[in-house]
Structure 1
Amino acid sequence: MQKTEFIIDQNLKEMTKHRTDTLPVACYETTIVNNIHGHIPLHWHDELQFVAVLQGTVLFHINDQIISVSKGDGIFINSGVLHMAEDHGGNNNCIYLCLNLTPQLAAPSDLYVKYVHPYITATNLPFLYIDGGIAWGARILEAIRLIRTELVSQAPYYELKVASALLDMWTLLIKNGYALEHDASEMTRSRRMKDMLQWIHLNYADPVRLEDIARMGQLSRSETCRYFKQILRTTPMQYVMDYRIQKSIELLRLSDRSITEIAYEVGFNSTSYYINQFRKSMKKTPLRFRRELAEK
């Protein structure tokens, strides 16, 4: 099975260019287990995202919430929102359509300020569950499937059909959403979390202390721990550990460096400690992981 890699930058921003030759939109069929990490890692992007689950059940981690989305339903994830996805229960069968579009494509330019901008800046709309069992939800999910077909076939006038379907989807979403809020404290909370994660991603290979992370978020040690526990459901130092393991996976896959070289390159000061932590996270040693990659 060909493994895919999900590229994000040091600020957790996804680097994929979501567009065709003529439209800033893309729609992918995603099988979670095919990602090299076995899940879709934590990230954000400027684009709006609509998801239609085709098979299995997906757990989306969005800010400090976990949302279970099963076959026949979907979810909308707003621009700039931190999120990740994993296979619920480890059944390795979760497949979904993922539609990403630039916010400017959701409505004509003359209507953007009135009908799009207030929604992408609202602090109470990180996501919206799309229930396929109700009329407006079913129409959005059907539109995602139609757009996927049009983008793949690229038959004559497909751009107009895609643009029309996107406008219908956006109209349905904002008509059936809820009253918008713009909370300055929530915006500050999100910015601080991104600042701390960016610092970790730039400095993970060096010695990392809780005090350093807290300073980047302009928080106390206890507040920093609370942020990580609420939003990422882990501790700051465990996040550093997990990120180092993730970076080592990239090196195991893409380089011929030795296990010891990789351990020190991603911030471990002991090969044996690295191997133990890798086994704890991945249920196998780094060497076995590399051998299994070579066999595929």
Structure 2
Amino acid sequence: MQVTDFRRDRNLKELTEHRTVVLPVACYETTITDNIHRYIPLHWHDEVQFVLVTQGEAFFQVNEEKTMVKAGEGLFINSGCLHLAEDLHDTGCVYICLNVAPEFVLPRELYTAYVYPYIQATSLPYIFVNPQKEWGANIADAMRSIHRLISGQPPLYEIDITLQLALLWKNLIAGGFPLEYKQEERLKSERMKRMLSYIHLHYAEKVSLEDIARAGQLSRSECCRYFKRLLHQSPLSYMIDYRIQQSLLLLRQPGAGVTEVAYRVGFNSTSYFIDVFRKSRGMTPLAYKKSCSSRESIRYNQS
């Protein structure tokens, strides 16, 4: 089942539990615009992720790298990497998303040799899965099989999933990708996560650029360069966007008024909140709240 209310902790780590009842694996279809934000916001998780686009096309960003993925194509997104997805051209993008704990990909005896070096490599934030290559077509087939197995749960499906995971991983590493381990790249990622974490923890308070920079142990100018490189906006612009994201959740609550929400997410002026919200969402907070109430009423009457 797709998660539409995308929950992350203050460190941007996704809180969704990626597992079936008994396996540390999750596989489901995602329609990007069905998300409450209409895109998949920046996040990370310990699980490795495989994506297979089945309809439309999507823009993916993994750490600082960006790529477009069309129907039939896919991505491997490495453990711990910050990533987001957007349907920039409103193509109705749908993709199969497979998340699996790295230690479950292969038996323990093979993990050290064939999994650990790949999830630690700073040279592999993601790998484009090309269906024109034999190894890419095999990965796509394995993903479809896992999706069918989890959806249908035939007898002994758990064993079949482990077989498909081994096949998937074998084809991934058969691509012969070079492995590099740069400490400065890992440090850069950790600093960015710390700064984002600070914003997510303190967004409802008065936050300065110096506060954010201090969280990443950087100067203010270097902090701005980090955000410009990764998110193409300033730290304070990102914080305002995050406040708007949080306000969406609060506005969906029946008793929450616009002024109350504005102050709860860190705006000290209702009019400024309304202005920023309108520019971000194309409607006022009150109009958004009414539209959410209407959708909930329709869903209730249909159930």
TM-score scaled by structure 2?
Answer: 0.95
Alignment of 1:117-196 (within 5 A): 117-196=116-195
Structure 1 residue 30 corresponds to structure 2 residue 30: yes
Q: Which runs of 4+ in 1 moved over 2 A?
A: none
C-alpha distance in 2, partners of 1:177/1:213? 39
C-alpha distance in 1, partners of 2:174/2:222? 37
Residue 263 of structure 1 aligns with an amino acid whose one-letter code is A
Query: Aligned-pair RMSD on alpha carbons?
Result: 1.2
Q: Are the equivalent residues in 2 in contact too, given 1:3–1:36 (CA < 8 A)? A: no
Structure 1 counterpart SS, 2:13: coil
Aligned twin of 1:275: 274
1:196-245 deviation per Cα after TM superposition (whole angstroms, max 9, x unaligned) = 00011110011111001011111111100100011112110100000000
In the comparison of the two structures, how many residue pairs are matched? 294
Aligned twin of 1:70: 70
Question: C-alpha displacement at 1:88, in angstroms?
Answer: 2.5
1:248-286 deviation per Cα after TM superposition (whole angstroms, max 9, x unaligned) = 011001352110010011000100000000011111110
Residue 245 of structure 1 aligns with an amino acid whose one-letter code is I
C-alpha distance in 2, partners of 1:231/1:177? 27
C-alpha distance in 2, partners of 1:190/1:80? 9
Aligned twin of 2:299: none
Aligned twin of 2:285: 286
Question: C-alpha displacement at 1:3, in angstroms?
Answer: 8.4
Structure 1 counterpart SS, 2:89: helix
C-alpha distance in 2, partners of 1:278/1:90? 21
Residue 88 of structure 1 aligns with an amino acid whose one-letter code is L
C-alpha distance in 1, partners of 2:255/2:34? 22
C-alpha distance in 1, partners of 2:21/2:63? 32
1:45-96 deviation per Cα after TM superposition (whole angstroms, max 9, x unaligned) = 00010000000001111111221000010000000000011103133x0000
Residue 196 of structure 1 aligns with an amino acid whose one-letter code is M
Structure 2 counterpart SS, 1:199: helix
Alignment of 1:1-296 (within 5 A): 4-91=4-91, 93-296=92-295
Identity %: 52
Is the alpha carbon distance of 1:5 and 1:177 closer, same or farther for their aligned partners in structure 2, counting shifts above 3 Å?
farther
C-alpha distance in 1, partners of 2:201/2:254? 20
Question: C-alpha displacement at 1:21, in angstroms?
Answer: 1.7
Structure 1 counterpart SS, 2:53: strand
Residue 272 of structure 2 aligns with an amino acid whose one-letter code is Y
Q: Are the equivalent residues in 2 in contact too, given 1:128–1:177 (CA < 8 A)? A: no
TM-score scaled by structure 1?
Answer: 0.97
Q: Are the equivalent residues in 2 in contact too, given 1:74–1:141 (CA < 8 A)? A: yes
Q: Could you tell me which runs of 5 or more consecutive residues in structure 2 were left unpaired when the two chains were aligned.
A: 296-303
Residue 216 of structure 2 aligns with an amino acid whose one-letter code is G
Structure 1 counterpart SS, 2:252: helix
Structure 2 counterpart SS, 1:9: coil
Is the alpha carbon distance of 1:29 and 1:3 closer, same or farther for their aligned partners in structure 2, counting shifts above 3 Å?
closer
Question: C-alpha displacement at 1:22, in angstroms?
Answer: 1.7
Structure 2 counterpart SS, 1:89: coil
C-alpha distance in 2, partners of 1:177/1:90? 35
Residue 21 of structure 2 aligns with an amino acid whose one-letter code is D
C-alpha distance in 2, partners of 1:153/1:162? 12
Q: Are the equivalent residues in 2 in contact too, given 1:5–1:36 (CA < 8 A)? A: yes
C-alpha distance in 1, partners of 2:250/2:204? 13
